[in-house]
Amino acid sequence: MNAFYESLMQRLGAIKLIANFTDREMEALLNFKRISKVELDIDGQKYQAWRVLHNEALGPGKGGIRFHPDVVEDEVKSLALVMSLKNSLAGLPYGGGKGGVAIDIKGMDLKLVEKVSRAYAAAFSDVIGQDKDIPAPDLYTNPQIMGWMLDEFEKKVGHHEPGVITGKPLALGGIAQRTDATAKGGFFMIQSLMQQLELRTSGLKIAVQGFGNAGSFIAKMLYEAGHKVVAVTDSKGGIYDENGLDIPALIAKKAGGQTLSQVGVGQIIDNQAILKMEVDILLLAALENQITAKNVSEVKAKAIVELANGPISADADKALFEKGVLVVPDVAANAGGVTVSYFEWSQNRTGNILDPEYLEKKLKDMMQSTWQRMYGVYEEHGKKVDLRTCAYLLAMRRILEAEKARGNI
């Protein structure tokens, strides 16, 4: 079984007991509405591809598509279920969906990436739609890929439907705020965390694992807010400087084609070392399953924020909780991405163009509201369960309420 899937089942099983959910309720929460799988044939090369719709009680499915060589069905299923929870927790009118292609597109010719993207949209054109299931970017997919997919989908269905996909290029109805939305949402969540724990609002020591769309932007926001980002890593390793790194300079070097460890500043570290650093906040913005039973004893951060999906395993959760490390879970911390996707979708549906300042404020309000509701449940439980459990509880209850209102349970 895929490790992420295993962790998710373990967590949901534990929550059943805490919340006293009935077998019937758990069945409704664990049921998958649709699992679609195809084999894409691109110039004779075969790639496995999925689109999974987990639950749609609250609205159409919503969630990204990832292009990554390790994609397997259980992973896509877990991520779809996590999207149901994330969307529910954020108060969005969406169920959960996810897609993936088992492919390594690093260094791949763009013409080929376009072919894969178009083939994906064509193959799943009957299961996606603005009122069915709405994809967006995820690992190694981006606005250009969403643009190709939208174009292929519209050709296939014969009408315009920009709301079928979010994270699109601006020219096709995307919105500027989507680019750094995950990071910005995470930043607002960190502000709430700092306030709650009465931490300093500048000068905190921070380490960021992952320097892609989420990691690099949030590192920059924290740097600009006066914090000391002492370590950053990308997939090839990274760097450490106890006095803090110049994040904008690193972003510029990366854009010029260098990996972090090639930049020539600080001390070179690897992707494991960053997890063991003595920092105020460790941000996980890379891949799944980074902190597990194997390395959790070495974690020295005071708090951890999950900007990636599933970077901590269920058994590591337990150990971190016992150590008193506060973990802000993915379903809360990285919901900024899908929240801004929702703004984009609303705009596409109504034809109304929303004011950027209004959107920024709305995102902030929504992230803060999630924090307050989640922390409220944490206090109600006498701080005896972790924040993930509190977030899952809220999310599961809202889905069940919708299932009940539909008369499904």
Task: Choose between 113 and 338: whose C-beta lies nearer to ligand GLU.
Answer: 338
> Of 110-118, 291-299, 336-344, 360-368, which part binds ligand GLU (CB under 6 A)?
336-344
Residue 313 or 334: the one with the smaller Cβ distance to ligand GLU is 334
CB of 63 to ligand GLU, least distance (A): 5
For the bound state, the minimum distance from the C-beta of residue 75 to ligand GLU, rounded and expressed in Å, comes to 12
192: phi then psi, degrees, rounded to nearest 5:
-65, -40
Instruction: Indicate whether 213 belongs to the interface with ligand GLU (CB under 6 A).
Output: no
Residue 117's Cα: distance from chain center in Å? 21
Q: Is 380 exposed, middle or buried (CB count within 10 Å of its CB: 0-12, 13-18, 19+)?
A: exposed
- Contact between 210 and ligand GLU (CB under 6 A)? no
- Only one of the segments 272-280, 315-323, 331-339, 372-380 lies at the binding site for ligand GLU (rule: CB under 6 A); that segment is 331-339
Kindly state whether residue 173 participates in binding ligand GLU, applying the rule CB under 6 A. no
Measured from the CB atom, the residue of 273 and 338 that comes closer to ligand GLU is: 338
DSSP 259-311: -GGGS--SEEE-TTGGGG---SEEEE-S-S--B-TTTGGG---SEEEE-SSS-
Phi-psi region of 107 (alpha: psi -120 to 50; beta: other; left: phi over 0): left
Size of the site for ligand GLU (CB under 6 A): 12
> Which residue in 88, 341, 347, 370 binds ligand GLU (CB under 6 A)?
341
Interactions with ligand GLU, residue window 125-144 (CB under 6 A): 136, 138
Catalytic residue numbers, as ranges = 98
Query: Given the rule CB under 6 A, which of 18-26, 57-65, 201-209, 236-244 is the region that contacts ligand GLU?
Result: 57-65
Closest approach, Cβ 366 to ligand GLU, in A, equals 14
Number of residues in the chain: 409
The stretch near ligand GLU (CB under 6 A) out of 62-70, 123-131, 149-157, 318-326 is 62-70
**Residue of the chain from 84, 290, 309, 347 that contacts ligand GLU (CB under 6 A):** 309
Q: For tokens 């149901």, name the residue.
A: 84
Residue 316 near ligand GLU by CB under 6 A? no
Our finding on whether 288 is near ligand GLU (CB under 6 A) is no
Pairing relationship of beta strands 205-209 and 34-42 according to DSSP bridges:
unpaired
Q: Does 370 bind ligand GLU (CB under 6 A)?
A: no
In this structure, are residues 193 and 328 in contact, taking their beta carbons and an 8 Å threshold?
yes
The overall longest dimension of the chain from CA atoms, in Å, is 61
Strand, helix or coil at 3?
helix
In whole angstroms, give the CA distance from residue 279 to residue 305: 12
For residues 89-108, which are near ligand GLU according to CB under 6 A?
A: none
- Residue 32 CA to residue 380 CA, distance in Å, equals 31
- Give the integer Cα–Cα distance in Å for 296 and 317: 9
54 is a contact residue toward ligand GLU (CB under 6 A): no
Please report whether residue 55 would count as binding ligand GLU according to CB under 6 A: no
334 binds ligand GLU (CB under 6 A): yes
Q: Distances from the Cα of 247 to the Cαs of 18, 20, 149, 190, in angstroms?
A: 42, 46, 33, 18
Would you count residue 234 as binding ligand GLU (CB under 6 A)?
no
